[in-house]
Structure 1
Amino acid sequence: MALRCPRCHEGKLFSHSALNLRQFDEMPVACPVCGQAFEPEVGFYWGAMYISYGFSTVIVALVGVLLYFLGHDPEVWVYVSAVAAAVLVFTPLMFRYARAVMLYAFGGTHFDPRYAKAVG
C-alpha cells in the first residue's frame, strides 16, 4: 500500500515523511488530486486504534519469537527492552498504515479511474 488516496490512488494521504517525527501524523483535509475528503466523519480514525493494536501485537509476538530462538531465551529485561524499542521505532508506520487500512476498509470510497489525474 503506497498510502495514497482511495479514490484516485494518486494524492498522498500524509503531508510529511514518516521520518519527520514532529509531523508524521499530519494529513491534508482532502486529496490534493481529486478532492476526496480524508475524514469521512468526525472521530472516524478512532477505529484505527484497534488496527494499530493488532500491528503492535504482531510486532510483540515476532520480536518475542525471534529473541527466543535466535537469542536463546534471554532474560526478561531483554524481551521488554527489545519489544519497547521495536514498537517505538515502528510507531509512525503503524499509525499511518492503521489509518490507511481504516480509510480503505471503512471509508466508503473505492477506486474510480475517472478521478485519476483529474487535476494536472
Structure 2
Amino acid sequence: MAAPASPTLALLSLRCPHCHEGRLFTHSAFNLAHFTDMPERCEVCAVPLEPEPGFYWGAMFISYGFNVATVLTIGALLYFVGGDPDVWVYVLTVAGAALALAPAALRYSRALMLYWFGGARYRFNPRRLARA
C-alpha cells in the first residue's frame, strides 16, 4: 500500500506519523486478545511509537470524548428517529454501541495522542530510509 499523502489520511489509516507507511498496531482490531498491541518502533522508519513511559495514559481522555460522542449520538438518534423508546432500550443500545466501538475508540485515541503530543519533529527523510 502506498503511503497516504496527508497526515490526516495517515492518521485515519492508523499509520506512522513520521513516514506514513508503518502500521501503528500489530494485530487487527477484530483480534480481541491483542488489539491494543503496538510495536516499540515503526517497522519502516524506526521512530519510537511510545515517546515516554505512560505516554498513552492521556489517550484515556480522548477515548472518553469518543464515548461521550457515541452516547449523545445514539441517544439523539433513539429520541428523534426511534420515537423516544423506554429507558432500557437507551441503556442496551448505548452500552452495545460503546462495547462494539471500544477497539476503534482506543486505537484512534492512541493515534491522536501520538500525532498531537508525540513531541518529535515528524518529517519524511528518504535518505534515512535508504541507510536503514
| TM-score (structure 2 length as normaliser) | 0.86
Query: How big is each residue's C-alpha offset from its partner over 1:73-118, in whole Å with a ceiling of 9 and x where there is no partner?
Result: 0000000000000000000000000000000000013442215992
Tell me the number of residue pairs that the alignment of Structure 1 and Structure 2 aligns: 120
CA distance in 2, matches of 1:82, 1:47: 27
Residue type of the partner of 1:81? L
C-alpha distance in 1, partners of 2:127/2:13?
A: 15
What code does the residue aligned with 1:103 have? L
Between 1 and 2, higher relative CO (CA 8 Å, sep ≥ 6) is seen in 1
Matched with 2:118 is 107
Partner of 2:67: 56
**Aligned partner (choices 81, 84, 108) of residue 70 of structure 1:** 81
**Quick check: 1:64–1:79 contact (8 Å CA) kept in 2?**
yes
For 1:8, the equivalent position in structure 2 comes to 19
2:25 match: secondary structure: coil
For the residue of structure 1 that corresponds to 2:79, the secondary structure is helix
Q: Sequence identity, in percent?
A: 54
CA 1:19–1:110 in 2, change beyond 3 Å: closer, same or farther?
farther
Unaligned runs of 5+ residues in structure 1 are none
CA RMSD of aligned residues (A): 1.6
C-alpha spacing 1:91/1:117, structure 2 compared with 1 (3 Å): farther
CA deviations on 1:4-32 (whole Å, 9 max, x unpaired) are: 11111100000011111111100001000
How far 1:54 moved relative to its partner?
0.1
User: TM-score normalized by structure 1?
Assistant: 0.94
Distance, in Å, in 2 between the alignment partners of 1:116 and 1:70 is 55
Deviation beyond 4 Å, 4+ runs, structure 1: none
Q: Which whole-Å deviations, capped at 9, do the CAs of 1:24-78 have from their partners, x for residues lacking one?
A: 1000010000001111001000000000000000000000000001110000000
**What is the match of residue 84 of structure 1?**
95
Q: Which runs of 5+ in 2 are unaligned?
A: 1-11
Q: 1:19 aligns with which of 21, 30, 35?
A: 30
